[in-house]
Amino acid sequence: MSFKHHKPRLSEPAAAALSLLLSAAAGALLSGSSIAGTASFAGIAAAGAVSMPASAAVFTGALVRSAVSGTVGRNAVMLTSMLLVFVVRLFIDKPDKPERSGIVTGAAVAVSGTAVSALIGELPYKLPFYLFYGAVSGFAAYAGAVSLQSLRRQRLLRLTGLYGACFGAVYTLAVASLCSLRTGLADPGLMAGTAVTLAAAYFYSRQGGAVCGALTVCGAFLASPESGVGAALLPAAGLLTGCIRRRRISLSTGFFLLSSFALTILSGIPGERYGNGLTGLVSMTIGAVVFIAAAPCWSDKWVAAGDGGAAELRPELERSRACFLADSIGGIVSAEEGEKEERAEAFCPEEVCSSCWRQPVCRSTEDTAKGFALLAEQIGDGFPQELDRCVRRESILRAAGDYRCRRASERLTELGASGCRAVLAEQLHITEELIRRSPLREEMRFSLPVSRRIEEKLRRHGIEPDKVFAGYNSSNRLTAEIYLPDDGTPDRSARICDLVTDGLGVFMECSGRAASGRQLRLTLGEQPQYTAEICVASRCADPSGVCGDTTVSFGDGSGKYYAVLSDGMGTGGAAAARSGEAVRLFRELVGGGADTAPAIRLVNSLMLAGSAEESFATLDIACLDLDNGGLRMIKAGAAATLLCHGGSVMKIAASAFPVGIYHEAEPFCADYGFTEGDTAVMFSDGVTENEYLFIKELLLNTGGQPQPLSRLVEEICAKAEVFNPTARRDDVTVMGIRMRRTARSGGKFGA
């Protein structure tokens, strides 16, 4: 059972129309606002910060309201500045660049103000004011443009660094503009400021409440002293409320209102000079109600303030990942050591004794077995007295000599192999210890609230995780790593996915599952931007019907998806065992957290030390980035790969040793563009170069529609024997990869 929550999406024309409508409404609203008794520059800054069509809509909204209210003359500087901003931006390159938006807006205000002052004969007196007014308007437009740029590119309110300063300036100006619309006991700016301050205190502790409260007070004082006095105690109330963060929403809201009321009473209700203090309390109450209604829909996916709990979660995640990978390597060492078996083959010359007429008599006595044992261990040509009655002495002596030579050779081989294994095991133990101390390299923005919510949901349903880490990767996609005791229970991935999906209101799927022998790690995540379509076709050359090639595809949980093709030496079961071992080891190491290059070197070492005979396999690996697109090809002795990207076909070939043939394994690695609709074809060496031109034609001659991937690989595999110039048959495996864009689904929180 799964829970999918589909997001309704607007079409592009509808989204554009809605954007223009909101811009016009903002222009009409801001045209009536004021700062310190003069017309607010918020509307001008908005016209300079938004895109070109939205800028025209802001000007239109302001003009319509001014015409309806009869204030065109009073708003002449504002309307002229908006129009001038729009006209100038029509003729400059990259008009939406924040620096240019700020410069154009500031210059337009200064020019418009200077012109109007000259017309009414007040130029000497008002010129300094309009220069200052233009500078402030330009900075506000720059801050707005930077904020909008962050929202468009990252879909995120990043309240740190430059972005934090710009968002702070925009918020202060918005509060000032809303406070100027105050009527009676209702102060829109104080309502909005109260809701934001309370949210910051609840979700981001004392610092959030104090900072947002201070910015709200600043904006309120810019509007008027009355609004400023009504909001003056917000920083203190936010600071106190932040001390009891993460309690029940109603409890935090009640404490905030009680603190505000108590502080207002203790400070004395303002006199008539600064208005009625009741206005501030009423507005704060309404803002608190707004917070209660909006708080359940809050998600830190859209807001990045502070470290998101990284100070607490990052060390734990580093330790858990490192120990998990170390346990994976330790498990491989234990498995390799467990495969050592003592070979105690007894000397029993069946080829001599099976045709002897005395065999039933000899085998029935204990002396015969004892004599054979002595003969196998003795040095020289003597004959044990227990075998005095043997009628085939010469043949028995020759068989015993051959046995002793063969056993001596095997012991020498085993001795050399055991030495290699001992050295390799020691290297792996050292690697295990190093990895336990390895740092976390992946960029991740942690979310402590989501981590705790997942853990609480699982515990309520009888699942006891060791650790839960949730956060957002570099593509702002929610992921979660859940570490569970590996107690041998059946697959619980689907059950856990359903519980997490239900608990977060966000559809989560299992993108990685790995076991270290001690723990089970599940990696869950929202659907990435792309998905990989993979099809395989193969043909066996061995009469046994066993193909010596092995393929596998899997994800590592971080947005990377691997398609692996291995061609074992020879054909049949022996080749299948070699390629299967190479693929298995690679998947365990990468699934445990190792990088691809070190994983291939470890696979090479294990296969070198695992057999005294020549035993090797190729590794052809395609690593796809499902978040951002892109393809990384890793090759160790593999055949070429044909990549169809951007309407052309590229051949990717590399000269590198297969794994298990040479002690130095340096795989080929390169990155390529790979996006929606692109196709890559990997194959074993049963597909010869004579077929490459045919494959290229299949990839390019699609008639406008890409050929189904399953049909493509089947056709390439079927034609392999036709294009093979030699009579020697080999296993043929074709693996096709195509990138598809995912039909995204989301949840009620949009997290």
Written as six digits, the tokens of 311 are: 């100070």
Written as six digits, the tokens of 530 are: 């792309």
Predicted confidence at residue 325, as pLDDT, reads 73
Q: Which of 260, 254, 280 is nearest to 202 (CA)?
A: 254
Question: Nearest 5 degrees, angle CA 701-CA 703-CA 708?
Answer: 80
Task: Give the start-end residues of each E strand in 573-626.
Answer: 619-625
Task: Give the start-end residues of each E strand in 11-128.
Answer: 34-35, 38-39
Written as six digits, the tokens of 349 are: 């010359």
What does the DSSP 8-state code read for residue 380? S
Distances (CA, A) of 471 to 108, 205, 475, 518, 695: 44, 19, 11, 24, 43
Distances (CA, A) of 354 to 344, 384, 416: 22, 20, 35
The Cα 145–Cα 13 span in angstroms is 23
Residues whose CB is less than 8 angstroms from the CB of residue 572 and which lie 6 or more positions away in sequence, other chains included: 542, 544, 546, 548
Task: Give the start-end residues of each E strand in 25-119.
Answer: 34-35, 38-39
DSSP string, 469-508: EEEEETT--EEEEEEEE---PPP-HHHHHHHHHHHHTS--
* Structure confidence by residue, pLDDT tens digits, 532-570: 999 999 988 877 778 889 999 998 878 899 999 999 887
Distance of CA 669 to the CA centre of its chain: 21
pTM equals 0.66
Scored b (16 or more CB within 10 A) or e, 435-467 reads bbeeeeeeebbbbbbbbebbbebbeeeeeebeb
Residues whose CB is less than 8 angstroms from the CB of residue 563 and which lie 6 or more positions away in sequence, other chains included: 532, 534, 551, 552, 553, 621, 622, 624, 682, 735, 737
Written as six digits, the tokens of 250 are: 């109603």
The Cα 160–Cα 167 span in angstroms is 9
Q: Are 244 and 252 in contact (CB under 8 A)?
A: yes
DSSP string, 117-143: HHHTT-HHHHHHHHHHHHHHHHHHHHH
DSSP helix/strand/coil, 518: coil
The Cα 624–Cα 532 span in angstroms is 8
The Cα 214–Cα 26 span in angstroms is 25
Task: Give the start-end residues of each E strand in 81-192.
Answer: 157-158
Predicted confidence at residue 344, as pLDDT, reads 47
The Cα 30–Cα 672 span in angstroms is 49
AA letter at 68: V
The Cα 193–Cα 215 span in angstroms is 9
Write the burial class of residue 308 (CB in 10 Å: 0-12 exposed, 13-18 middle, 19+ buried).
buried
Task: Find residue 512's DSSP bridge partners.
Answer: 523
Residues whose CB is less than 8 angstroms from the CB of residue 422 and which lie 6 or more positions away in sequence, other chains included: none
Strand 157-158 relative to strand 303-304: parallel, antiparallel, unpaired?
Answer: parallel
Distances (CA, A) of 32 to 375, 555, 742: 113, 56, 45
Task: Find residue 519's DSSP bridge partners.
Answer: 485
The Cα 275–Cα 230 span in angstroms is 9
Helices (H) and strands (E) in the chain, counts: 24, 19
The Cα 132–Cα 352 span in angstroms is 113
Residue spans of the chain under pLDDT 50: 1-6, 271-275, 340-344, 416, 419, 423, 430, 746-751
The Cα 363–Cα 375 span in angstroms is 16
Residues whose CB is less than 8 angstroms from the CB of residue 97 and which lie 6 or more positions away in sequence, other chains included: 145
Predicted confidence at residue 411, as pLDDT, reads 64
Q: Token pair 């904020």 is at which residue?
A: 147
What does the DSSP 8-state code read for residue 6? P
Predicted confidence at residue 157, as pLDDT, reads 82
The Cα 485–Cα 464 span in angstroms is 8
